[in-house]
Structure 1
């Protein structure tokens, strides 16, 4: 007996992801159906939704971990070639960039928690260290968040001269340093303490104080200021 191939065009209109989105809105679609729209077509006996489900199984349906998938991991699934994998990664990157868009009203950063909430999106899905600086005006309102270095798994270096050059350019009155620990360890390293001290001294000289230094992980943050290490 020949097995009949059931592809998306043969489904009822309500079961087709694109038509379902147009009829019922995007919130009506499952995660697998949204991925199916990105994938576009199925492969062999698998529909695009079937492939979407298989892709989700890579992280057991955890969308947070899903955002960390690499091209090679997606291509391990039979039916997901480089073109489909790139479409998925492009959508994930757009979602990530959306987090970075600042609203017209400048948020006031008057606590380590508020700084963390503004910064955490910049460190999402990173498997290496990056160093960012928040530049604030006299009222502690955010002027700009600037990425200053990209490092490896266990470290990154930032030049204090560059930190304050950008600060002078944007007219900052104070700064907050931040970098991530991909390992999840919130304890500052010896090099973290040394670079903090160097930048702190530099800031005091030019009257642009370092207000805090945050170490960010997927599970939280460490604040030098809260721990009275500044």
Structure 2
């Protein structure tokens, strides 16, 4: 018996992702169906939903892991996913990160290391490379600005203390919190992390803009230099 793929257009109306979203609401759609809407079509042997299920299966149905996939990997590993479809998926993941960050637009107050982690996790946790960011605070410990200082590779990134102090001075910040991610998932600071922290602590002391903490962000947790007595 010859098998023929049943395209989405031949599904019952209530089972097609777009029609299902209109009739039953977006919350009725699975993650695979939402991704299927993004990519629009599959390949000769698979519907858009089938392709989406396969992509999700490869990341253990974890959207954070999906957010780590590059455009090139999506194109290379999944038949039917070209550049335009891969861009749609990556763009949707980035919008999700930014939407979560938008919830903190009203100058959140930092009271402990967990506040920093909650704020920075959407930006850093699922990146495949290291990035170094700073949070500039006012006298009430409210966030005035969040700025990316540098971007590097899997194992590290370059940081310039002059850029950080200039940003703090320009914003008239009262204090600084340092933050970077470890794509490896290892929360422990490296020797370089400790050296950078000490160097910036000294620069901040000289400029009367203290470094309050340095947070290392991973998918599963974080390391606080202040909490661990390393600052």
TM-score range, shorter chain: over 0.9
Name 2:40's counterpart in structure 1.
40
Compute the TM-score of the two structures, normalised by the length of structure 2.
0.93
Matches within 5 A, 1:72-91: 72-75=72-75, 76-91=77-92
1:181 is aligned to 2:182: yes
Per-residue deviation, 1:45: 3.5
Name 2:199's counterpart in structure 1.
198
Per-residue deviation, 1:160: 1.3
Name 1:135's counterpart in structure 2.
136
Return closer, same or farther for 1:5/1:225 CA change in 2, 3 Å cut-off. closer
Question: What SS class does the counterpart of residue 42 from structure 1 fall into?
Answer: coil
Per-residue deviation, 1:125: 1.7
Compute the TM-score of the two structures, normalised by the length of structure 1.
0.93
Name 1:98's counterpart in structure 2.
99
Q: Distance in 2 between matches of 1:114 and 1:155?
A: 24
Name 1:119's counterpart in structure 2.
120
Bigger Cα displacement from structure 2, 60-69 vs 22-31: 60-69
Return closer, same or farther for 1:103/1:191 CA change in 2, 3 Å cut-off. closer
Unaligned runs of 5+ in 2: none
| Residue correspondences, number | 230
Contact 2:5 2:47 (C-alpha < 8 Å) held by counterparts: no
Name 1:17's counterpart in structure 2.
17
Per-residue deviation, 1:43: 2.1
Unaligned runs of 5+ in 1: none
Q: Say what the alpha-carbon RMSD is for the aligned residues.
A: 1.7
Bigger Cα displacement from structure 2, 152-161 vs 26-35: 152-161
Return closer, same or farther for 1:194/1:104 CA change in 2, 3 Å cut-off. closer
1:6 is aligned to 2:28: no
Contact 2:186 2:218 (C-alpha < 8 Å) held by counterparts: yes
Name 1:52's counterpart in structure 2.
52
1:71 is aligned to 2:76: no
Q: Distance in 1 between matches of 2:105 and 2:3?
A: 57
Per-residue deviation, 1:213: 0.8
